Amino acid sequence: MTTRSKQETEVHITEAASRHIGQSVDFADTFSTTNHEHSLQEIVQTILTTKQRWIVYLFQLRNWLVKTLGLKTDIPADHNDRFAVGGYVGFFQIYELLPDEVILGGDDSHLDFRLSVHKTDAAEHNIKVTTLVHFHNRLGKVYMAIVAPFHRMIVKSMVAQAYREPQLRSQV
């Protein structure tokens, strides 16, 4: 039996994700789940827009705490819900759309991050969600050290929402 989501032991960095972070990668992780039923767009939207109450609360707490540091907490002026390059899914801006991968992310004064949602051909855990972070300064490093444990809990939970039981293939 497969798990709904798991943290991968190896970080799954695609060429597109690497190209979009553009600098050194200072933090990276990958979580995966299984879903052969839905389109990549449906999977991305499920992962990034369906939030449990405890996750919403943690994001609100984060925004309240970091506002005094001058970090971004507001919806960007160019925010739109188009599933296209330049559009947004939640607060994640879309940087690239490929047939099997979507690159999203954001930039701030302390760090840049990219999120790759990659649909592979694997029988199980075919959806790979990778976070890549580049620190700009000490604040980025300290920020990530504090939020990393919460990040892992949140991303694992969000990725699990896209899980669909794999269908057994009959042997003919």
Residue 87: give its domain's CATH number.
3.30.530
Please state the pTM of the whole predicted model: 0.90
Query: Does residue 171 lie in a domain region?
Result: no
Query: Does residue 172 lie in a domain region?
Result: no
What would the two tokens of residue 12 be? 């799954």
Query: Does residue 165 lie in a domain region?
Result: no
Query: Does residue 12 lie in a domain region?
Result: yes
Q: Which residues contact 80 (CB under 8 A, 6 or more apart)?
A: 86, 87, 88
Strand order through the sheet with 92-98: 6-7, 27-33, 127-135, 111-119, 101-107, 92-98, 88-89
Query: Does residue 121 lie in a domain region?
Result: yes
Place of tokens 């989501």: 5
- CA-to-CA distance for 47 and 49, rounded, in angstroms? 6
Contact 112, 105 (CB under 8 A): yes
The count of structural domains within the chain is 1
pLDDT of 171 over the 80 cut = no
Query: Does residue 22 lie in a domain region?
Result: yes
CA distances from 34 to 49, 126, 164 (A): 18, 5, 6
* 113-166 per-position pLDDT tens digit: 999 999 999 999 999 999 999 999 999 999 999 999 999 999 999 999 999 877
Contact 127, 159 (CB under 8 A): yes
* 32-64 per-position pLDDT tens digit: 999 999 999 999 999 999 888 999 999 999 999
Query: Does residue 1 lie in a domain region?
Result: no
Expressed in angstroms, the distance from the first to the final Cα of the chain is 23
The residue range of the domain holding 155 is 6-160
| Nearest residue to 142 via CA among 75, 66, 64, 91 | 66
Query: Does residue 85 lie in a domain region?
Result: yes
